[in-house]
Amino acid sequence: MSNGTNTSFGSLKQIDAGILNVGYAEAGPSDSPAVILLHGWPYDIHSYVDVAPLLAKAGYRVIVPYLRGYGTTRFLSSETFRNGQQSVVAVDVVALMDALRIEKATIGGFDWGARTANIIAALWPERCKALVSVSGYLIGSQQAGKVPLPPKAELQWWYQYYFATERGRAGYEQYRHDFARLIWQLASPHWDFDDATFDRSAASFDNPDHVSIVIHNYRWRLGVAEGEPHYDELEQRLAEGPTITVPTITLEGDANGAPHLDASAYARKFSGSYAHRTITGGIGHNLPQEAPLAFAQAVVDVDGY
């Protein structure tokens, strides 16, 4: 394997799955072992534009979906509440697996995508063969989100508090591309991305539900917005901090500017075969796009555990 310089997945696919019509990229043979790769905020499927062909070449069927509120993914009904709480994104991915007739997959992700992958591995381990998770164990709860942090740590979450206000919602609506570029720069201070790279991902934020999903996600985390009652049972299970039993490799960039814990703080949450890798070379938060070879290699390796 070697790091690539791809700029496009080619044509995307669409499929009805649960309450969504999901846009996704696919690479590799359809009868091969499945890998599902999940992006974060404010990023999109292009975080895996080099990872996907590496894994396809290694013999995997690779699925890279737009999460709700991004790219070409749309709600099937205009009446559906635009919910961004953590459990619903995982429910979306399980529904996508059902629609694609994927019984079990190796799942990888970072940021929102890592949290979603964690949740699937914890709640539906029969659907997750193995896990690659950037920044480790990210399952949270509204209770945990209400606990104050030391001032320096709180500063890193400035955008979360901004989004809790109506000024913040209006500001993100008006300046979403500028906002995303700033987060990219802060979270990956050594990643010298060009305008074309940013613009390819920023186009996905023009999704009509994007602002609503992002704002609800962060407000829900702080406990200043409610979720939907029919997800309460899942959230109660997640609030207990369930252990993840499937084989796992956690990854961290040596220059991640986003809030994250040291690996020693979460290693005990993974009770199956487990390894942690720190990826060096000025690698920031968007690890799959900044270090695609290292991410792809982790997927191949954990699949063999």
pLDDT at 145: 87
| Domain boundaries of the chain, sorted by first residue | 13-303
What is the four-CA torsion angle of 131, 136, 141, 142, rounded to 10 degrees? -130
Q: Consecutive sets of 10 residues in the chain, 305 residues long: mean pLDDT of each? A: 78 97 98 98 98 98 98 98 98 98 98 98 98 98 92 96 98 98 98 97 98 98 96 98 98 97 97 98 98 98 97
C-alpha separations of 110 from 81, 113, 128 in Å: 25, 5, 16
Nearest-CA neighbor of 190 among 58, 291, 295, 64? Answer: 291
Give the model's pLDDT for residue 1.
Answer: 56
CATH superfamily of 13-303: Alpha/Beta hydrolase fold, catalytic domain (3.40.50.1820)
